[in-house]
Amino acid sequence: MNPHHVTLRQLRAFVAVAETGSFAAAARRMHVTPSALSLLVKELERGMAVRVFDRSTRSTTLSTAGGEFYPLARKLLDDLTLALAATQDLAQKKRGTVRIACTPLYASTTLPALIQQYRRLYPAITVYVLDSLNQQALGRVLSGEADLGIAPQRSTPPELVQERLLRDRLWFICPPDHPMAARESVRWAQVLKQPFVSLTPDFTQRLQADLFKHSASLVLQPAHEVSFITTAFGMVQSGHGVTAQPAKSLQLIEPFGLVARPLVAPVIHRELGLFVKRGLTLSPAARSFRDFLLGAMSTA
């Protein structure tokens, strides 16, 4: 047999007849006339120098050779379909738009470098960052304004799916002349005796829940609650109190002249999550960015 004598159309015709058991039905599947389909099968048999069907006035069945050839032909066509789909998917990933709703801390400290790495892989994809407070980020994913959301992990509505991105420890932050700045680590019992600058009520409630897991005596009563982490740093800089923030925020404290110390008793972490609307089929560009984030941040 000369493989150059066998074409894809002939293989598709053979598989169609084998699966339908009828030249007429196979012709309808392939949108050709029965005579055209019959010719394709005859050309295949001529090229292979073997009969692949046993024909009678009542039925068409696979010959012994045809029965052995069918699974190989089916696999060949399936593999070709998968290869074409993968190539088209890769081409689509090379262009497109991704919109990410992300909380300000990670939008300013983590995403910029990751987007730069991603753009080296897919330079034609445009990535938009929609910096948003926690609930706003989730709302933008729910509404479809954003493809993906990045925010601290939390209980989410059933319309959202979340995946873990990274674990971020909370640190104590204060001015350098604060009495606790000289300590190697700071206990929460000591922190809670100071005026505390917290973030949104959501941040405060989750922090209080974590403290209660350790001891019911650790009661957080913020002196101030603000929306943005840079506002909290400005308040601490001006002497309004101290704060506790994730380790990723430490790269932002130098302009405020603040220092950070590890918090203990208990050690508290924040889990950062990636949020996607449940049941949504992401575009190839958004899916590739999601996969990139999960891979890059799992090693962060």
How many Å apart are CA 198 and CA 185, to the nearest integer?
20
How many Å apart are CA 14 and CA 144, to the nearest integer?
45
Domain span at 149: 98-272
Whether residue 144 is contained in a domain is answered as: yes
Residue 55 is predicted with a pLDDT of: 85
Q: Are residues 86 and 129 in the same domain?
A: no
Q: Which of 92, 126, 161 is the endpoint of a domain?
A: 92
> Which CATH number covers residue 61?
1.10.10.10
Q: Is pLDDT of 89 > 80? A: no
Q: Are residues 107 and 84 in the same domain?
A: no
Whether residue 292 is contained in a domain is answered as: no
Q: Is pLDDT of 2 > 70? A: no
pLDDT tens digits for 228-287? 999 999 999 999 999 999 999 999 999 999 999 999 999 999 999 999 999 988 988 899
Residue 153 is predicted with a pLDDT of: 87
How many Å apart are CA 148 and CA 280, to the nearest integer?
11
Q: What is the average pLDDT score of the chain? A: 91
Residue 93 is predicted with a pLDDT of: 60
Q: Are residues 265 and 146 in the same domain?
A: yes
How many Å apart are CA 93 and CA 114, to the nearest integer?
17
In sequence order, what E strands does 192-247 have? 197-198, 224-225, 243-246
Query: Can you tell me the mean pLDDT for 77-86?
Result: 81
Whether residue 83 is contained in a domain is answered as: yes
Whether residue 285 is contained in a domain is answered as: no
Q: Are residues 126 and 150 in the same domain?
A: yes
Residue 96 is predicted with a pLDDT of: 84
Q: Are residues 247 and 122 in the same domain?
A: yes
Whether residue 140 is contained in a domain is answered as: yes
Closest CA to 126 of 289, 274, 275, 280: 289
How many Å apart are CA 205 and CA 217, to the nearest integer?
15
Q: Mapping DSSP to helix (H, G, I), strand (E, B) and coil, where does residue 43 land?
A: helix
How many Å apart are CA 133 and CA 107, to the nearest integer?
11
pLDDT tens digits for 31-71? 999 999 999 999 999 989 899 999 887 788 999 999 999 99
> Which CATH number covers residue 231?
3.40.190.290
Whether residue 239 is contained in a domain is answered as: yes
Q: Are residues 146 and 235 in the same domain?
A: yes
Q: Are residues 41 and 129 in the same domain?
A: no
**CA–CA distances in Å: residue 276 to residues 115, 116, 191, 203, 208:** 18, 22, 36, 21, 27
Across the strands, what pairs with 166?
272
Q: Are residues 84 and 113 in the same domain?
A: no
Q: Is pLDDT of 3 > 90? A: no
Q: How many domains does the chain have?
A: 2
Q: Which helix (H) or strand (E) holds 264?
A: strand 259-264
% pLDDT > 70, the chain:
95
Query: Can you tell me the mean pLDDT for 198-224?
Result: 94
User: CB atoms < 10 A from the CB of 128, how many?
Assistant: 12
Measured between its terminal Cα atoms, the distance across the chain in Å is 56
